[in-house]
Amino acid sequence: MKKVLVINGPNLNLLGIREKNIYGEETLEDIARKMNAEAEKLNVDLSFVQSNHEGEIIDKIHESRGKIDVIIINPGAYTHYSIAIRDAIKAVEIPTIELHLSNIHAREEFRSKSVIAPVCVGQISGFGSAGYILALHAALMI
């Protein structure tokens, strides 16, 4: 059974409330329910976490070493400047998929640059909450 950790970064706890025109109306809890149902069908051991704190995200990545097969991360705003999260992903050598609800390449210029992407096996962006399910399926292909 593959073990997958889904990490959600800052402000994702406000999904369904903030900028619905960009992020949709589903809450993070709605997305977690859908992912857990899909993981059960696929026989995947899924953990789903969210933190607004960079250090907590880094700790989760570090704790995953030797325990998790694939990480799916929606780093939120940390995408664009967290060298610390980037370095943690690179250090643990766990295949990681970067995920975004919106198409970061079609938004403000500063959002189109990801410092995380170069240390990930791939990036899923712009498919809304369906991107989480796509990432879960992609995790099985790694």
87 is in an annotated binding site: yes
Active site residue 100: yes
102 is in an annotated binding site: yes
111 is in an annotated binding site: yes
Active site residue 23: yes
Given 53, 62, 81, 100, the catalytic residue: 100
74 is in an annotated binding site: yes
For the chain, give the secondary structure using H, E and C: CEEEEEEECCCHHHCCCCCHHHHCCCCHHHHHHHHHHHHHHHCEEEEEEECCCHHHHHHHHHHHCCCCCEEEEECHHHHHCCHHHHHHHHHHCCCEEEEECCCHHHCCHHHHCCCCHHHCCEEEECCCCHHHHHHHHHHHHC
69 is in an annotated binding site: no
42 is in an annotated binding site: no
Annotated binding site for substrate: 74, 80, 87, 101-102, 111
Annotated binding site: 74, 80, 87, 101-102, 111
Residues with catalytic roles: 23, 100
